[in-house]
Amino acid sequence: MVSPILVVLAVAILILKCYKYMVARPKGFPPGPPKIPVFGTYLFLMFLNYKFLHKASITFSKWYKSKIIGFYLGDAPTVVVHDEQAIKKVLNSQIFEGRPDGFVIRMRELNFKHNGIFFNEGPQLIESRRFILRNLRDYGFGRRFDELEAVMADNVQDFVDLIKEGPKFSYEGKYVQNGKLLSPYIFAPTVLSTFIHILTNERLTREEQAEIYEMCDYSHKSVRNGDDYGKILGNIPWLRHIAPNMSGYKPLRESFKAFRKFSEKLYKKYDENYDPDNMRNFMDILNNEMKANETVFERDHVLMSLVDFLIPPSSTVSAQLGFLFNWMLNKPEIYQRMQSEIDEVVGSGRLPSLDDRVNLPYVEAVNREMLRIETVVPSSVPHKALEDTELDGFSIPKGTVVIPGLYASNSSKKLWGDPENFRPERFLNENGNLDLSKDYGLSFGAGRRNCAGETFSRNIMFLMIAAFCQNFDIVLGPGQKAPDLKNHHVPGVILTPKDFWLHVRNR
C-alpha cells in the first residue's frame, strides 16, 4: 500500500513543477500572464477577448502596469509592445527585422515551405525584396507615374459608371443591386485591377474582370479566417483534422491555393511569350531575373511573393474604405464638407486627380483620420529578435516574437488627446492646410519592414474617396440603421467591417 505521505509529496512536487512551468520566463523578460502546456498564454488572451486579441493584450498591459508585455504563443516567447516610442524602436531597428516561422505561415504554401516576402527573412528575402520593389517603382508602385495615374483614372471612372449605371456582367451583380453597394467588397476589384496593371502594364476592362472579382472574394475569406496572433491553429495544428472549417484551416488553404493558382497563371502568360530582348512589363523583368539568378529567385519563392503582393490590394484597402463609409453614415456633416470642398476645387466636369490633392486638404485629412481610427492591421506583421537585446530595460532573447501594437499607438491619448473621436481637423493647421507633422499614425508600419504598398494605397484611396463623394450621396435604406461603430468589426488576420448594403444616390 502506498503511503499517504508519499502521495501528498508527489502531488506537492507535481504542483510545484507545474507552477514553476507556468510562471517561468527568461531573466529580465517583460511581465505577463502565466503559460500552460501547448497553448502558452493564448487561452488567457482568448478568455479576456476571444475576438480581438490586440485588445486583450492591452488589458494585460494595464493589469501589469507595463506597456511592454511578455506572452507565450505556444512555446514561442512573445513580446507585445504598446508604448509609442518603443514601437518605433522595434520598427526601425535591424535587430527586430526577423520574421517568426510556424504552421499558419507555412500553410500558405502548397508544400508547406517558408517562402514569400511578408513572413520571411535572410539574404534571399533582402535581395528579392529589393529587386522587386526597385523594379515595381518603374511602373508607378511607390512614386508618381503618368501612365499608372491614367489607368487609375480609367479604373475609377469604371467604378463610378458601375454604380451609376448598374452591373453589366453577372459578377458585378453580386456587389451592386439597384442603388445598393455591398461594402466592403465593392471597393476591392478597382484596387486589385489597378495593381495588376503595375505588374503587367495591361489594363483590364470591366468585361475582363471576372477572375478579379473571384480573387477579391478569396482574399476577404483569407483575412477573415485567422487572427492577428496566429489563431489557435498555430498552437495545435492537428486541430485541422478534427475541425477544418472552425479552425480556419480549410478556408485559408482554399484561398491560398486560389491565389497560388492565380499567380502561376499570371507568370505563365508572360513566360510563354518571353523575349529577353523585349522587356514589356514587370513580369518580364522578374522572369528574366528568375532565369539568371535561380538560387535567389527560386520559382516557389517568387510565386509566393506575388501572392504576398496581391492579397493586400484585394482586401486591406477595401476594408479601410468600408470602415470610412460606415463612419460617414454616422457623421454626415463630415461627408458633406468633403463634397463641398470637392465641388469648389474640382467641380463636376472631371474626376479628381492626384494633382488636386494639395487643394483638397480636408479630403486628405479624412483619409488619414480613417487610417488612424480604424487600424486594420492592429498588431502589425510579427517581427522577431535576431539576437539577444534589450528594449526599454527588458531583456529580449534571440528568437523572441515581437509584436508592435499599432492599434495601441493609433489610439494613444498621449499622442492624440481624443483618439476615440473621428476628427479630421487634427491633421490641419490654423489655415486649414494639411500639416503632416501632426500625423503620428503607424497604420503602414515604419522602417525597412514597412508596408511596401503605402504610397499606392494612399493614392488609390484618395482617388476613390474623392470620386465617390463627387458623384454620390450616401443614404440609409428603408428601415436601415447606421452601422454601430462599436460593433462593426469582423476579427481576422486584419480587421474588416461587417458586410453592409450601402445605399447611394446620384448627385
pLDDT digits over 142-197, tens only? 888 888 899 999 999 999 999 999 999 999 999 999 899 999 999 999 999 999 99
Residues 76-132: tens digit of each pLDDT: 899 999 999 999 999 999 999 888 888 888 888 888 888 887 777 777 778 888 888
Give the cell for residue 469. 463623394
Across residues 222-240, what is the average pLDDT? 76
Q: Please report the domains of the chain, with CATH numbers, ordered by start residue.
A: 17-107+379-410 (3.30.43.20), 115-375+411-506 (1.10.630.10)
Which residue, among 87, 55, 139, has the nearest Cα to 449 in the 3D structure?
Answer: 87
What are the distances in angstroms from CA 407 to CA 61, 166, 385, 417? 13, 37, 21, 15
CA distance 280 to 260: 23
Statement: residue 25 has pLDDT above 90? no
| 180-183: long-range contacts, CB 8 A cutoff, minimum separation 24 | 180/477, 180/501, 180/502, 180/503, 180/504, 181/501, 181/502, 181/503, 181/504, 182/499, 182/500, 182/501, 182/502, 183/321, 183/322, 183/325, 183/326, 183/497, 183/499, 183/500, 183/501, 183/502
Give the cell for residue 427. 491633421
Residues 382-409: tens digit of each pLDDT: 899 999 999 999 999 999 999 999 999 9
Residues 304-316: tens digit of each pLDDT: 889 988 999 999 9
CA distance 36 to 363: 49
How is the beta sheet containing 401-404 ordered, strand by strand?
68-73, 76-81, 401-404, 383-384
Across residues 253-262, what is the average pLDDT? 93
Query: Pairing relation of β-strands 489-490 and 496-497?
Result: antiparallel
CA distance 317 to 313: 6
Per DSSP, the three-state class of 54 is helix
Which residue, among 278, 296, 297, 277, has the nearest Cα to 286 in the 3D structure?
Answer: 297
CA distance 424 to 75: 43
Across residues 349-361, what is the average pLDDT? 95
CA distance 390 to 395: 5
Give the cell for residue 85. 516610442
